[in-house]
A and B are shown apart, each in its own frame.
Chain A
Amino acid sequence: MPDIRIQRLTKRFGEVTAVDGLTLEIGHGEFVTLLGPSGCGKTTTLRCLAGLEEPNEGKIFFGERCVFSAPHGVFVPPGGRGIGLVFQNYALWPHMTVFHNVAFGLRKKKMPKAEIRRRVTEILELLGLRGYENRYPSELSGGQQQRVALARMIVTEPEILLFDEPLSNLDAKLRMTLRAELKRLHAEIGATTVYVTHDQVEALTLSTRIAVMNLGVLQQVGSPVEVYHHPANLFVAEFMGNPSTNLLPSRVLDPGPPVVVAPEADPTVSLVLDGGRIAGDKGEVIVNVRPEDVEINPSPVEGGMVAELSAVLPTGSECVTYLRLGGGEHEVVSKGPEEMLLCLEPHQRVWLRFKRGNVFDRETGELLFSFGFEGRGGKG
């Protein structure tokens, strides 16, 4: 299986720059997700990889083979790239049966009829679609259509698999099942995979690495753990996580180590954040704490920030709590096991502590350091 190298890729549509100087290397057999909000350029990047769009600048290599190079005028058409692509809407041909949809690519390769039949049957078997050969796409459920699209893609044994939000048209339960199936399939075939999604849970569960994009620019590439817990900048921090993460603008009291800051929400509190130091004369930072790292105490604790409970939203397995700080102007979200919060009442006063988090430069939005990881809590 080849690796993919994307070098300084730029794609413009008229005035709009959809992808801006993207450089990314994807190892062989890797499962890399392009993640970002709509309009961030992730689908355009994928379509450039497939050859459905011709980029304006940059180069793309599949292994040793150059499939696109602006300076050398190289452009390998989609059919010659040895790729498979699953579209968001599946793009099954409505006038062909399941069998003919899947067999299309094999016929194109002038394979003997018996061989085509054998391979199609085998792949339909693998995806649990035996017996549906003669159905038309309109006679299948959404999940089945998705499986046919998968079958059509992998039957020609492409070395690179591309997915364009393949699960976004399905309901939540089916999405879970197919996620697991995709992961199993990837383990089985081992093809180098690029997967586009705006769903962070999908990205976190499926990928070996995640590439977060925004406004055509790559923000961060890293393992799911890295991207989730150590976002490279404020955009990644805000984009990842549900409910969205807490961002507390704070004033630096001591550049450290250990760093001491006072949050605007409650300037009387000094938060001691060890794990790094703040260089130079930066006066303002943003402290980022994930909701699950906010600890709620029903009674006063040392260095705790006073807050008032404004809403408790039990979701079954866990509970999301909205808390008001500093006279109600600021809000913090917490997420934790439900039973812990059952005894809390609306408008009750509580004391908050932050277990771990990240500190960002308020001006540039870049990550300065992470605190509280490796088992140490941010003490007050």
Chain B
Amino acid sequence: MRRPERLWGLGLIAGLILFVVIPVGYMAVHSFVFDSWGPRYVRGAQPGQWTLFYWDRVLMGRLSRSIFWEPFSHSLAIAVSMSAIAIPLGALFAWLVVRTDIPLKGFFNAVLIVPYIVPSWTIGLAWLTLFKAERFGGQPGLIRSLFGVDPPTWLSYGLLPIVISLGAHYVPYTFILLRGALASVDARLEESAEILGARRLEILRKITFPLVLPALGSAFVLTFGKGLGEFACQAFLGLPIRYYTLSTRVYSAFEHRQHSQGYVLTLILILMTTLTVLANQKLIGARKKFTTISGKGTRRKPVKLGVWRIPATLLLLGFVLAFVFAPIGLIAWETFMKYEGQYSLSNFTIHYWVGAGDPMLADGQPGIFRSPFILGAIKNSVLLAGTTALLSGVIGILVGYAVVRTRGSWLSRTIEFLSFTPYMIPGIAFGGIYLSIFARKWGPLPALYGTFALLVLTCVSKYLPYSSSSGISAMHQIDPSLEEAAEIQGESWAGRFRKIILPLAKGGFLSAFLLTFITTMRVLDLIVLLVTPRTRTMTSIIFRYQQQGYTQHAYGIMLLIVGITLAGHYLVRRLGGRIQF
């Protein structure tokens, strides 16, 4: 066959419909149908009957305040406030690193993105080691140990800690976006203004800022959307004091098998994140208009900070210390404490790493490297991440090939659009959908609940936007004529793929593989509803241990994940890959 991409393009579309369109459609329809809990709420209700009950209950009913409106306002408050932290800081850092004579640029460039590479709840967990209060159970935090009084609740849990830890987590996001935008602004545009007599601040305000404004808008909208969908941090820092958000409400609805109510909440959450994505598309349109007028980023002389150089450096160092080194250090420290909250040398132990199990400590759980339960989770995590990354890589290449080679046709547009849709569905919602659909027998698929396959299927589907966009960009770099030149020499399609396409796509494939690997290693929201004791992962047992108070174990596993993700990211950088959004 000469052009097989059309055929497998159709296959891809069928797969995308099965795993993306139908689940969302199913959910939308079933939000209007009584689930098995229906009869408990409404007298005479039959499961499977059509109803507006759930929409009414969530949006208007007696409990709507606690089910929806309060969590909704919490979600909005979190998303707005964390963006208000992340955007200005990220933009300022980007400008300092790209444009000024600040020292240690290489160091800041490498380290400032760490909060975004490690799981979003790293800072949140570290926060707890500091501000944990005794009255919510468990052991005291550092503040309690030092001063003997519990910190106020608002400092330990809820809005403030969530906003600070998520805000710090997303600073790198703006930083990366703005760094790129600032570097691509043509120096000549600014130099022209300078020649015309504009002063530095004026240039910044009238030329540079308007040019990077669309990128800044993008950063805001995307950060806002991510904040809405974020689950783990909000769970760790919110659930102990029943501070609910939209995403933790989705979680508890599905956790308590109130599926239809979960569908309603999920749909609202998806609607909101979709709106942010659409807003971003508009901004990207505006950004494209700008990039066409700007040329190549040329070498320019850095802005001299003068007296501001030292305060600016201290600010950056302070951020790095407080949100990169301190959290990881605190988490590491915690794992070596025999009893939580006792910051003394005599309390030092390596029990939680290699101990054989002591009935007095953590209910006799053996150390991380000796616990079959934890080792099993590590194995599962690595296996899940490896399988997901491999499958995603292959699918990404196939999607990329089909999209690029049929460019301009409806096929290409449909595949590209459909493979992007999971981006708009927050992880916790995605997990909820897959839980309610693929747990049972579904069409040709057997019941998957409790299987490893379900986790793989969920992760591969959710990461489609990333894998296909990296596949598409890898394929864009392979000019069609390279393949045509072989075709003219009589090379078959399979031969061309093997001899030309694969060798050339290898680098892109490898870095996409690693990125998906570390993303899967640190994922919690997507799979938290789907894991069973048999398919437990590192992240899922952290979640469980944290609730059960096995802090040292939880933090130890956390530290392993941080190590793996950082090592993975280092390898990606070595391969010339880029961080995913």
Q: Is the interface of B mostly helix, strand, loop or mixed?
A: helix
CA–CA, A81 and B487, complex, Å: 11
Q: Is B272 in the interface zone, CB < 8 Å from A?
A: no
Q: Is A369 in the interface zone, CB < 8 Å from B?
A: no
A52 touches B484 (CB 8 A): yes
CA–CA, A94 and B489, complex, Å: 17
A79 touches B488 (CB 8 A): yes
Q: Is B292 in the interface zone, CB < 8 Å from A?
A: no
Q: Is B134 in the interface zone, CB < 8 Å from A?
A: no
Measured between beta carbons, the chain A residues less than 8 angstroms from B503 are 95
Q: A52-B487, A79-B488, A94-B504 are in contact. Are A87 and B481 (CB under 8 A)?
A: yes
CA–CA, A77 and B490, complex, Å: 8
Find residues 488-546 in chain B having any chain A CB closer than 8 Å to their own CB.
Answer: 488-491, 500, 503-504
Q: Is B482 in the interface zone, CB < 8 Å from A?
A: yes
CA–CA, A94 and B482, complex, Å: 9
Measured between beta carbons, the chain B residues less than 8 angstroms from A14 are 408
Instruction: Name the distance in Å between A154's Cβ and chain B's nearest Cβ.
Output: 12
Instruction: Name the distance in Å between B474's Cβ and chain A's nearest Cβ.
Output: 14
B490 touches A108 (CB 8 A): yes
B504 touches A156 (CB 8 A): no
Q: Is A105 in the interface zone, CB < 8 Å from B?
A: yes
Q: Which of B408, B479, B485, B491 has the most CB of A within 10 A?
A: B485
Find residues 61-98 in chain A having any chain B CB closer than 8 Å to their own CB.
Answer: 77-81, 83-85, 87-89, 91-95
Measured between beta carbons, the chain B residues less than 8 angstroms from A80 are 490
Q: Is B299 in the interface zone, CB < 8 Å from A?
A: no
Measured between beta carbons, the chain B residues less than 8 angstroms from A52 are 484, 487-488
CA–CA, A77 and B2, complex, Å: 8
CA–CA, A50 and B487, complex, Å: 10
Measured between beta carbons, the chain A residues less than 8 angstroms from B500 are 93
Q: Which of A50, A78, A108 has the most CB of B within 10 A?
A: A78
B491 touches A79 (CB 8 A): yes
CA–CA, A104 and B500, complex, Å: 11
Q: Mark B451-493, 1 if CB is under 8 A from A, else 0.
A: 0000000000000000000000000000101101111111100
B490 touches A79 (CB 8 A): yes
- A104, closest chain B residue (CB): B489
Q: Which of B408, B488, B504 is within 8 Å of A83, CB to CB?
A: B488
B485 touches A152 (CB 8 A): yes
Measured between beta carbons, the chain B residues less than 8 angstroms from A81 are 488
CA–CA, A83 and B491, complex, Å: 13
Q: Mark A329-349, 1 if CB is under 8 A from B, else 0.
A: 000000000000000000000
- B492, closest chain A residue (CB): A79
A156 touches B489 (CB 8 A): yes
Q: Which of A83, A91, A105 is within 8 Å of B481, CB to CB?
A: A91
Q: How large is the interface on B (under 10, 10 to 19, 20 to 34, 35 or more residues)?
A: 10 to 19
Instruction: Name the distance in Å between B120's Cβ and chain A's nearest Cβ.
Output: 39
A84 touches B488 (CB 8 A): yes
Measured between beta carbons, the chain B residues less than 8 angstroms from A84 are 488
B490 touches A87 (CB 8 A): no
CA–CA, A108 and B490, complex, Å: 7
B482 touches A79 (CB 8 A): no
Q: Is the interface of A mostly helix, strand, loop or mixed?
A: loop
CA–CA, A92 and B485, complex, Å: 8
A91 touches B485 (CB 8 A): yes
Instruction: Name the distance in Å between A73's Cβ and chain B's nearest Cβ.
Output: 14
Measured between beta carbons, the chain A residues less than 8 angstroms from B488 are 50-52, 78-79, 81, 83-85
Instruction: Name the distance in Å between A337's Cβ and chain B's nearest Cβ.
Output: 41
A105 touches B489 (CB 8 A): yes
B484 touches A91 (CB 8 A): yes
Measured between beta carbons, the chain B residues less than 8 angstroms from A79 are 487-491
A89 touches B479 (CB 8 A): yes
B486 touches A104 (CB 8 A): yes
Q: A77-B2, A94-B504, A95-B504 are in contact. Are A87 and B489 (CB under 8 A)?
A: no
CA–CA, A312 and B485, complex, Å: 47
Instruction: Name the distance in Å between B196's Cβ and chain A's nearest Cβ.
Output: 31
CA–CA, A210 and B500, complex, Å: 35
B484 touches A89 (CB 8 A): no
Instruction: Name the distance in Å between A43's Cβ and chain B's nearest Cβ.
Output: 11
Instruction: Name the distance in Å between B63's Cβ and chain A's nearest Cβ.
Output: 55
CA–CA, A89 and B482, complex, Å: 9
Measured between beta carbons, the chain B residues less than 8 angstroms from A94 are 482, 504
Q: Which of A91, A108, A152 has the most CB of B within 10 A?
A: A91
B504 touches A78 (CB 8 A): no
CA–CA, A104 and B487, complex, Å: 11
A87 touches B491 (CB 8 A): no
Measured between beta carbons, the chain B residues less than 8 angstroms from A156 are 489
Q: Which of B408, B489, B504 is within 8 Å of A108, CB to CB?
A: B489
Q: Which of A80, A84, A105 has the most CB of B within 10 A?
A: A105
Instruction: Name the distance in Å between B406's Cβ and chain A's nearest Cβ.
Output: 13
A93 touches B491 (CB 8 A): no
Instruction: Name the distance in Å between A11's Cβ and chain B's nearest Cβ.
Output: 15
Measured between beta carbons, the chain A residues less than 8 angstroms from B484 are 50, 52, 78, 85, 87, 91
Measured between beta carbons, the chain B residues less than 8 angstroms from A93 are 482, 485-486, 500, 504
Instruction: Name the distance in Å between B284's Cβ and chain A's nearest Cβ.
Output: 26
B491 touches A108 (CB 8 A): yes
Instruction: Name the distance in Å between B492's Cβ and chain A's nearest Cβ.
Output: 8
Instruction: Name the distance in Å between B497's Cβ and chain A's nearest Cβ.
Output: 13
Instruction: Name the distance in Å between A98's Cβ and chain B's nearest Cβ.
Output: 14
Instruction: Name the distance in Å between A332's Cβ and chain B's nearest Cβ.
Output: 38
Measured between beta carbons, the chain A residues less than 8 angstroms from B485 are 85, 87, 91-93, 152
CA–CA, A52 and B2, complex, Å: 10
Q: Which of B481, B489, B491 has the most CB of A within 10 A?
A: B489
CA–CA, A152 and B488, complex, Å: 11
Q: Mark B118-146, 1 if CB is under 8 A from A, else 0.
A: 00000000000000000000000000000
CA–CA, A87 and B481, complex, Å: 7
CA–CA, A84 and B2, complex, Å: 18
Find residues 1-29 in chain B having any chain A CB closer than 8 Å to their own CB.
Answer: 2
- B500, closest chain A residue (CB): A93
Measured between beta carbons, the chain B residues less than 8 angstroms from A78 are 484, 487-488, 490
B481 touches A89 (CB 8 A): yes
B479 touches A91 (CB 8 A): yes
Instruction: Name the distance in Å between A331's Cβ and chain B's nearest Cβ.
Output: 33
CA–CA, A15 and B85, complex, Å: 51
Instruction: Name the distance in Å between A111's Cβ and chain B's nearest Cβ.
Output: 12
- B482, closest chain A residue (CB): A91
Instruction: Name the distance in Å between A157's Cβ and chain B's nearest Cβ.
Output: 12
CA–CA, A257 and B484, complex, Å: 57
Measured between beta carbons, the chain B residues less than 8 angstroms from A108 are 489-491
Measured between beta carbons, the chain B residues less than 8 angstroms from A104 are 486, 489, 491
Q: Which of A51, A80, A93 has the most CB of B within 10 A?
A: A93
Measured between beta carbons, the chain B residues less than 8 angstroms from A105 are 489-490
CA–CA, A79 and B490, complex, Å: 3
CA–CA, A104 and B485, complex, Å: 10
CA–CA, A49 and B489, complex, Å: 14
- B484, closest chain A residue (CB): A52
Measured between beta carbons, the chain B residues less than 8 angstroms from A89 are 479, 481
Not counting A52-B487, A104-B491, A152-B485, a sample of 16 additional A-B residue pairs whose C-beta atoms are within 8 angstroms of each other reads A51-B488, A78-B488, A78-B490, A79-B489, A81-B488, A85-B484, A87-B485, A88-B481, A89-B481, A91-B482, A91-B484, A93-B485, A93-B504, A104-B489, A105-B490, A108-B490
Q: What 5 pairs across the A-B complex have the smallest Cβ distances?
A: A79-B490, A91-B481, A105-B489, A91-B485, A87-B481
Q: Can you list 30 A-B contacts with CB-CB less than 8 angstroms, sorted by A residue number?
A: A51-B488, A52-B488, A77-B487, A78-B484, A78-B488, A79-B487, A79-B490, A80-B490, A83-B488, A85-B488, A87-B481, A87-B484, A87-B485, A89-B481, A91-B479, A91-B481, A91-B482, A91-B485, A92-B485, A93-B482, A93-B485, A93-B500, A94-B504, A95-B503, A104-B489, A104-B491, A105-B489, A105-B490, A108-B489, A152-B485
A interface residues with partner B (beta carbon < 8 Å): 14, 50-52, 77-81, 83-85, 87-89, 91-95, 104-105, 108, 152, 156
B interface residues with partner A (beta carbon < 8 Å): 2, 408, 479, 481-482, 484-491, 500, 503-504
